[in-house]
Chain A
């Protein structure tokens, strides 16, 4: 048996408060395509960043060609034959293709760049990946697929022995994907090891020799691609009993609560959809598909160019967050720290900030009534805090998220709650609790719009799912017909 180029043994990595990798094993042989799969937060990115020298690891062994890798920084990793092509490509748009390929190592003599050599060498590498563009062209004029090929050409020019590709096809058309696969096969034929990270199982089965599955920071297993079927792989990935994670929601769905027609802002176009009473509706899509921008449009943060929003039969007058709040909308935004909590205020003051009118007569706030409502809410959704006077910034992420939910739940005339990434940065236990709260609320008749990048979460909680791409809605699925593959397909094509 050949020696692996790269070998990782019993790797542990902790971040403050999070166990990101627990005793992970991974290796890659020359000429092999090794797929790395797992849900968001399973630890794939952490492993990539350790391999490429972005992160240090807490414990374990990392070998390159049998010797301890001892990688100090990303540049060191490149010198030791490791290239990473990230999902968001790492090229400088305002520089030429050649300058990008030779970034930081332009051929020079006496401080003068040898342009001729630079262009001819670049040309040679571009031909290897079959990219027929002028090396002098600025990268910003290339398509994403072409930019990816530039990255690959760069990796080849660096004599990389291992190329790690993170979701390389997420922005490519089928034809471009086909071409990329051809290039990958040629690379592996010339003994380069490819680590291929992807959500798309069909690609993995088509391309890879072996598959390693990660879940919750641990390696579930490594299998030969020929030995497993798709069902088995999904089971390995999802693992935990989804039924336990997601509470059962039998929607008692009523009349239309939110009706949006042709809503257009600078960032989203012609958005038409509805949410009924007691319904949980999800929005899926890739990063930058316009989902958060849609919540901003609904909540009146972004200016409307045209379109109407009707809530409970009443048309929303102006577009302002204040107006949206008065009409019965609530928003739990994507970034808890920046847009959600008031870090210098107590749990109590954070919770009642949008519902003070219920505790006020004249201008006087009755703190007794306020405290009672807050205590009831803390009990009912079990927020773990030593007291309601505790600064909210001292709570854990999951409890902060509950405080933000509570903030809107205290508003008795709330009709629609918009939750953007309800469980981002929250541990598994708290996640299940948040789902439970959401489902309970829907059962009580609240309409919920949730945006999420985690497909299992959308599939587990939502009654209906819309898919967005480029600021537009591209698909709509009922719970019964939706699947990860369908959602992804609509998000990409």
Chain B
């Protein structure tokens, strides 16, 4: 068998082990397996309609999740994304109802998003607050602000076209999916082909070294928070568009789902390690799982439990990953030293 021979020669095995080691590959396999299992259990899963619904759902998560991925890559976190989405919906619908302009509503929401991101960024950099604690605070503040302004009652949109924004299609593709793809391409480029991306990975990977190399650490962090803030608000606008209303409780618990899927996608919570492709796969896996559970009529309470388990698994994998990286490095170092000594 030629393949066997090639394996023996090592020409293929190198590539194969490389692929096996590649997390993207493992995630892709996991996603395919999950799809196969769900499609076996439910005939509805593979219908175009269901696929597009799932993709639209994942797109909403992803637009916000891509921004959050940047924050995690730079070594910080933002727990307030769920609350911020409720704020986005509120701002959007209030502006929309008073002016009748969707564009004006989106622009206002994005501006609010930039301010919200800048506040988080400044708290973390200039204020030197731990981002976990700082955004835990802003998370409560934003949610509370939504409740206070709406009296905990949802506000309906008075402009019927607004719902089109998130639920409409271009050809066979949902609007939200196309927007998510655009955001993905833009961020992929920024992370891989620009100074912004290099700095981001460097700061997340070793903040002290970044500082001592004279990189603009604080400025970069604020910028990342602003980008993420705007993306979060945009996702919030889409969410309110889908419901044609501003819900003060929108996005509750959303932060945990997004963070879990990003970590599941191989982005390290300690920063500097991970790819946006991995984050996307993590979100797809979680989206398909959620869709599958719904199709199988599993109660939403059980879905919560499943999500919780997945968060634990994701963090466990993150810890394992770091462990195995350290072990691998040690092993290779030893090997190298062995050969150096042999050379002596």
Shortest Cβ distance from residue A142 to the other chain B in the assembled complex, whole angstroms: 35
Given contacts A322-B216, A333-B212, contact A396 B193 (CB under 8 A): no
Report the stretch among A106-114, A249-257, A351-359, A448-456 that lies at the interface: A351-359
Tell me if A396 and B213 are in contact (CB < 8 A): no
Tell me if A301 and B211 are in contact (CB < 8 A): yes
Q: Which of A323, A339, A349, A364 sits near B212, CB closer than 8 Å?
A: A339
Residue interface mask B59-87, A partner, CB < 8 A = 1: 00000000000000000000000000000
Which residue of B has the minimal Cβ distance to A350? B202
Shortest Cβ distance from residue A339 to the other chain B in the assembled complex, whole angstroms: 5
Q: Which of B190, B212, B337 sits near A301, CB closer than 8 Å?
A: B212
Chain B residues, Cβ within 8 Å of A17: 333, 337, 340
Tell me if A338 and B195 are in contact (CB < 8 A): no
Q: Which of A329, A364, A407 sits near B194, CB closer than 8 Å?
A: A364
Tell me if A342 and B272 are in contact (CB < 8 A): yes
Which residue of B has the minimal Cβ distance to A333? B212
Give Cα A365–Cα B329 distance, bound, in whole angstroms.
29
Residue interface mask A234-266, B partner, CB < 8 A = 1: 000000000000000000000000000000000
Tell me if A345 and B201 are in contact (CB < 8 A): yes
Residue interface mask A325-367, B partner, CB < 8 A = 1: 1100101010000111111110001001110110010011101
A394 touches B (CB below 8 Å) = yes
Give Cα A133–Cα B135 distance, bound, in whole angstroms.
55
A299 touches B (CB below 8 Å) = yes
Tell me if B193 and A299 are in contact (CB < 8 A): no
- Contact residues, B300-340 vs A (CB, 8 A): 329, 332-334, 336-337, 340
Which residue of B has the minimal Cβ distance to A360? B195
Give Cα A321–Cα B217 distance, bound, in whole angstroms.
10
B164 touches A (CB below 8 Å) = no
B215 touches A (CB below 8 Å) = yes
Tell me if A353 and B202 are in contact (CB < 8 A): yes
Chain B residues, Cβ within 8 Å of A407: 213
Tell me if A342 and B212 are in contact (CB < 8 A): no
Given contacts A322-B216, A407-B213, contact A394 B329 (CB under 8 A): yes
Give Cα A17–Cα B340 distance, bound, in whole angstroms.
8
Give Cα A364–Cα B215 distance, bound, in whole angstroms.
18
Give Cα A91–Cα B248 distance, bound, in whole angstroms.
60
Residue interface mask B209-224, A partner, CB < 8 A = 1: 1111111100000000
Given contacts A17-B333, A322-B215, contact A340 B195 (CB under 8 A): no
Give Cα A365–Cα B199 distance, bound, in whole angstroms.
12
Chain B residues, Cβ within 8 Å of A363: 190, 193-196
Tell me if B193 and A365 are in contact (CB < 8 A): yes
Tell me if A339 and B273 are in contact (CB < 8 A): no
Best-buried of A326, A338, A357 by chain B (most CB within 10 Å): A338
Instruction: For chain B, give the interface size range.
Output: 20 to 34
Q: Which of A324, A338, A367, A394 sits near B209, CB closer than 8 Å?
A: A338
B205 touches A (CB below 8 Å) = yes
Tell me if B334 and A16 are in contact (CB < 8 A): yes
Give Cα A363–Cα B195 distance, bound, in whole angstroms.
7
Give Cα A102–Cα B190 distance, bound, in whole angstroms.
63
Q: Which of A338, A354, A357 sits near B213, CB closer than 8 Å?
A: A354
A393 touches B (CB below 8 Å) = yes
- Contact residues, B205-243 vs A (CB, 8 A): 205-206, 208-216
Which residue of A has the minimal Cβ distance to B271? A344
Which residue of A has the minimal Cβ distance to B274? A344
Tell me if A365 and B195 are in contact (CB < 8 A): yes
Q: Which of B206, B333, B340 sits near A394, CB closer than 8 Å?
A: B333
Chain B residues, Cβ within 8 Å of A338: 206, 208-209
Given contacts A339-B209, A360-B195, contact A344 B329 (CB under 8 A): no
Which residue of A has the minimal Cβ distance to B332? A394
Given contacts A344-B205, A357-B195, A363-B194, contact A321 B337 (CB under 8 A): no
B128 touches A (CB below 8 Å) = no
Give Cα A199–Cα B206 distance, bound, in whole angstroms.
37
List 5 A-B pairs, Cβ < 8 Å. Answer: A299-B214, A322-B214, A324-B214, A360-B194, A394-B333
Q: Besides the contacts A322-B215, A342-B205, A344-B205, what 12 more A-B pairs have beta carbons closer than 8 Å?
A: A321-B212, A333-B212, A339-B209, A342-B201, A342-B206, A349-B202, A354-B213, A360-B195, A367-B193, A393-B329, A394-B332, A394-B333
List the interface of chain B (C-beta within 8 A of A): 190, 193-196, 198-199, 201-202, 205-206, 208-216, 272-273, 329, 332-334, 336-337, 340
List the interface of chain A (C-beta within 8 A of B): 16-17, 299, 301, 321-326, 329, 331, 333, 338-345, 349, 352-354, 356-357, 360, 363-365, 367, 393-394, 396, 407
